[in-house]
């Protein structure tokens, strides 16, 4: 299903893409992100600097992409893989939390580097938008063929909530607004994710029950 044989053309493209993002991350970790120019990444990946920008539209994107990789499709697969008797809300929320649970040791200090540089931090947060499209298709699969905007909107909302969670999570110590209250940047990411996704539960449930009626 997900195994497209694909032509030589497509395979080379994917190879170049992964070569670029891995080179970007490796160099950034070795010398620090500020001491890596686009030219260096391109050279390390064996392509011209101009070609780099055919794959990534910013320097930060490549570094972040190496950490995120294909989180989008993994989330989509996780949603699709949940048994049919669990509700849509649980399927989606569990899939998100599961895929954002941080794994490897190597990814951990990559994240450490990312969170310290504002530009990288922003790119990382924005990358959450990438789940929207695959997630929308997975949701559509569970809702049956509704050809309105519901799956897109739900997926976009979930992505937006994740966005909020990541912002909160990476916030150094926000200068609070009018009411300064003890806002602890707080607990684990999974916990935070469940917390921000909770308000969307009614919308997910409603869409699911509307689909099965």
Q: Which does 57 bind (CB under 5 to 8 A by kind): a second copy, DNA, none?
A: DNA
Mask of contacts with DNA, 108-137, x by CB under 7 A? Answer: ----------xx------------------
- Asked if residue 77 binds a second copy (CB under 8 A), the reply is no
- E-strand ranges in the chain read none
Which listed range, 45-53, 65-73, 80-88, 160-168, lies at the site for a second copy (CB under 8 A)?
A: 160-168
Contact 76, 134 (CB under 8 A): yes
Helix (H) or strand (E) holding 205: helix 201-212
> What whole-number distance in Å separates Cα of residue 200 and Cα of residue 161?
8
Q: Are 93 and 135 in contact (CB under 8 A)?
A: no
Single residue of 104, 147, 173, 175 touching a second copy by CB under 8 A: 147
Q: Considering only residues 107 through 146, tell me which ones interact with a second copy, judged by CB under 8 A.
A: 137
Angle, CA of 136, 140 and 143, to the nearest 5°: 140
Give the DSSP per-residue string, 171-188. Answer: -SS----SS-------S-
181 binds a second copy (CB under 8 A): yes
Residues making contact with a second copy (CB under 8 A)? 137, 147-150, 152-154, 156-157, 159-161, 163-165, 168, 177, 181, 195-197, 199-203, 205-207
């Amino acid at each position: 299903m997900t195994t497209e044989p694909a032509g030589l053309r497509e395979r080379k493209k994917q190879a170049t893409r992964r070569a670029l993002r891995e080179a970007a991350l490796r160099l950034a970790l070795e010398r620090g992100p500020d001491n890596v120019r686009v030219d260096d990444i391109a050279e390390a990946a064996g392509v011209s600097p101009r070609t780099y920008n055919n794959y990534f539209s910013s320097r930060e994107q490549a570094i972040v992409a190496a950490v995120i990789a294909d989180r989008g499709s993994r989330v989509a697969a996780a949603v699709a893989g949940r048994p049919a008797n669990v509700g849509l809300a649980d399927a989606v929320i569990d899939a998100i939390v599961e895929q954002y649970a941080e794994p490897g040791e190597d990814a951990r200090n990559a994240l450490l580097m990312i969170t310290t540089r504002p530009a990288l931090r922003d790119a990382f947060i924005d990358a959450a938008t990438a789940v929207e499209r695959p997630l929308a298709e997975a949701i559509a699969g569970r809702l049956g063929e509704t050809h309105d905007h519901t799956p897109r909107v739900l997926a976009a909302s979930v992505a937006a909530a994740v966005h909020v969670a990541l912002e909160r999570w990476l916030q150094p110590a926000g200068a609070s607004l009018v009411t300064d209250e003890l806002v602890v940047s707080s607990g684990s990411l999974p916990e935070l994710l469940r917390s921000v996704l909770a308000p969307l539960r009614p919308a997910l449930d409603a869409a699911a029950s509307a689909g099965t009626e």
